[in-house]
Structure 1
Amino acid sequence: MVVETYLTHLRAERHLAPRTLALYADALRRLVEGAQGLGVALASLQPHHVRALMAQAHGTGLSPRSLALLLSAWRGFYRWWGRQGGVALNPVDGVRPPKAPKPLPKALAVDQAVALAEQAPAADDPALAARDHAIVELLYGSGLRVGELVGLDVQPGAASAGWVDLAGAEAQVRGKGAKWRSVPVGGPARQALAAWLAWRAGIARPEEPALFVSQRGTRLSDSQVRSRLKSLALQAGLPTQVHPHMLRHSFASHLLQSSGDLRAVQELLGHADIRTTQVYTRLDFQHLAKVYDAAHPRARKR
C-alpha cells in the first residue's frame, strides 16, 4: 500500500525519530479511515474532502495544534506521492487549520510582584544581592525586556544600547527594530541601582561598560538573569516560575489597572502596534471579573 511505502521512506531515507514516525503513522491512519468513510480513494481526494476530514477531526475535540500536525503529515504524504507520479494534485495545499487562540500573557498579582521586589536576595555575596535586587526593581518598575536590561551601560556611548540616568529618573533603551524610547525609573529602582553601583566598581572589569555584570566582571547574559530571577522567586515563596518577561507583563497589567491609559502603556512598552498592547485589557478585564465575582451580590450563585 502506498501509505506503508511512504512510512518506509520516512524511516529509511528521512531517518525520522520513532516518536515522529509514530505521529505520521497515526495521521495517515486517520487519512485512510477518513477517505474510506467518505467513499473516496486516496488518489481522488479533493480539497473539499480534506476540509470535511478536518471538520470531523475538529469535532472529536482535537486542538488546533493537533489539526495542524495532521495537515502537515497529509501534505507531506501527497507531496511525496506526486513526485512518485501517483497524483497530479495535492489536495491539502491551501487547506489551513483553525487558528489556535493566543494564550494570555502570564502576570503576577500585585502582592506577588511587590513580594518579589522586596525579597532580600539570599546571596552569600552582598554585591550580587544588591545587583539582583536592582534587576528585579528595574524589570518590574520600568517594564524592560530582558535584552534591553542586559544591554544597559553605565553611561551613554557610541555603541551603547541603553543607559540609566539616575538624576533624571529615566532610562534610555533601544528596543525592537532598533527604536529608542525613554522609560521612567521609580524611586525604589533608583535606590536599588545606587546601591548596586556602589558595589559594581569593585567587580566590573576596567573597560566593561555594562551596568549589570557577572562575578567575572563581564556583561550579564539573558540566561543568567533568568536563572537569578527563578531563584529569587523561589526564595520569595511565589507559587509559579517567574521569568523576566512575566515582570514586563506584570508592569503593563498593573499600570493599566491603575491608570486605564492604554496609549501610555503602549509607549512605555515600546509597542509599534497598539493591538499588541490591547492584550493587557483582557488581563485587566479578568482582574475586574474576579473582583465582581467575589464582591457583587448579583454575581453570587444561589
Structure 2
Amino acid sequence: MEKSLRELFEDYVNECRYSAKLRAETIRGYRNVFNLFLKIMPEVTTLELLTPGMLNEFFKRINTRIRIVGRDTLRSGVKNSTIKTQFNKLNVFFIWLQRKSYINSNPLQDIKRPRVTYNDFRRLKDEEIHKIYSAITRCYINSFTLRRDIMMVSLLLYCGLRKGELVALQLRDIDIEKEEITIRGETSKSGNTRILRMHPTLLLHLKDYLKEVKIRDLRTEHLIVSNRDDSGLTYEGLKHWVQALVNKSGIKFHLHQFRHTFACKLAENDTSAFKIQKLMGHIDIRMTMKYERSMRPEDMREDIAKISI
C-alpha cells in the first residue's frame, strides 16, 4: 500500500531525529511548515499531486490569504524572508523524497526563491527597548514575573540568543562568579558550544531573579520558569509572553529583533565581523555579514561625523 504524504514526512522526521541527530527545534520548524502546507493545500493528498504548479499555488495562497493577528486585526501578505524560510524547509523534504526515489524530480527545483532584502533584519531602536522595559515594570503580576521578565529581555538584548537557546537555558549554564553564560552545543543551531561574558546590567538582573527563585524554593533545572508551575517556560509560553509584552508596550516586535540589535550594537562599537560571528554562534561568516549589511546610512551618522581630513 502506497504511503501518504504525511506518513512519508514522518519517516523523514525519524531519519532527521535518529540518524542525522538534528535538533528538536530544527525538526519543529520542518513540521510547522509541512503542517502549514497541508492546511493551505488540502487537495495535495498524493505524491502525484506534488507538482511545481501546486507549489506555486501554495505560495500564492500564503501571500493572499487573510489572517487574524492578535485579537481582531486582519492582515494579508508575508515577508520575502518568511516565504524563503518556508521554501527551504519544504525543499529539504522534497530532496529526501527524490533521493529515496519516491518522486522523480523535486517540484521546487525550477522555482526561484524570493530575494530577501536586508531591511527584513530590523533592529530595535533605543526608545523601543526602553518602552519594553517600562511595560514590564508597569504591568507585572508579582515580584517573580517582574524580575523574570526583565532578566529575559536583558538576556535577549545582551547575549543575542535565539529563542531555542533562551528556552533551553538551565541553571547549570549560569556562572555568576565567573560572570559567564554557556550556550550548550546541543541547544544551539550551529551545534557548537559558546561562552558569553555577562554584561553588567544582565548580571544585576540575573542576581535579582535568582534570589526570587531561591525565595520561592523552585526546583526545576530550567533557568526561565513558568509563572504557572515549577517547570521551564515552553515555546508556546514564550509566544504568549511576547504577545503580552507587545500589547503592554505598544511596540510590535519579534524575538529575533533582539538578536539583530545585539549584532548591530557590536558592529557600531567597531567589533570585528569575526568576533561577532563567534558571539552570535554563526557557522558561516556570511550570515554575520547579512546583519552588518542591513545597517542603514542613518545608523552611521556618528561614524561619518568622526571622519577627519
| TM bin (shorter chain) | 0.5 to 0.7
Which amino acid in the other structure matches residue 124 of structure 2? L
Task: Give 2:157's match in structure 1, choosing from 123, 140, 143.
Answer: 140
Task: Give 1:244's match in structure 2, choosing from 237, 240, 255.
Answer: 255
Q: Which whole-Å CA distance do the structure 2 matches of 1:94 and 1:235 have between them?
A: 41
Cα distance change on mapping 1:95 and 1:113 into 2, 3 Å? same
Deviation at 1:130, TM superposition (A): 0.9
2:212 match: secondary structure: helix
Instruction: Write the deviation string for residues 244-298 of structure 1: whole angstroms up to 9, x where unpaired.
Output: 22211111122212224211111100001100111112222x1x24666xx99xx
Residue matched to 1:96: 110
Gaps of 5+ in 2: 1-40, 58-79, 88-103
Q: Which whole-Å CA distance do the structure 1 matches of 2:299 and 2:158 have between them?
A: 25
Does the 8 Å contact 1:145/1:248 carry over to 2? yes
Gaps of 5+ in 1: 1-13, 29-62, 70-89, 157-162, 297-302
Q: Which whole-Å CA distance do the structure 2 matches of 1:15 and 1:178 have between them?
A: 35
Q: Which whole-Å CA distance do the structure 1 matches of 2:43 and 2:299 have between them?
A: 47
Residue matched to 2:180: 170
Residue matched to 1:218: 231
Q: Residue 112 in 1 paired to residue 128 in 2?
A: yes
Instruction: Write the deviation string for residues 133-154 of structure 1: whole angstroms up to 9, x where unpaired.
Output: 1000111111111211222222
Q: TM-score, normalised by structure 1?
A: 0.59
Q: Residue 257 in 1 paired to residue 262 in 2?
A: no
Deviation at 1:230, TM superposition (A): 2.9
Rg larger in structure: 1
Cα distance change on mapping 1:266 and 1:121 into 2, 3 Å? farther
Deviation at 1:95, TM superposition (A): 6.7
Cα distance change on mapping 1:243 and 1:94 into 2, 3 Å? closer
Cα distance change on mapping 1:170 and 1:117 into 2, 3 Å? farther
Deviation at 1:15, TM superposition (A): 6.6
Does the 8 Å contact 1:113/1:250 carry over to 2? no
Q: Which whole-Å CA distance do the structure 1 matches of 2:241 and 2:166 have between them?
A: 14
Could you list the runs of 4 or more consecutive aligned residues of structure 1 that deviate by over 3 angstroms after TM superposition? 90-95, 202-206, 289-292
Instruction: Write the deviation string for residues 38-76 of structure 1: whole angstroms up to 9, x where unpaired.
Output: xxxxxxxxxxxxxxxxxxxxxxxxx9x7xxx9xxxxxxx
2:268 match: secondary structure: helix
Question: RMSD between aligned alpha carbons?
Answer: 3.9
Residue matched to 1:282: 293
2:269 match: secondary structure: helix
Which amino acid in the other structure matches residue 137 of structure 1? S
Report how many aligned residue pairs link the two structures. 212
Percent identity among equivalent residues? 22
Q: TM-score, normalised by structure 2?
A: 0.58
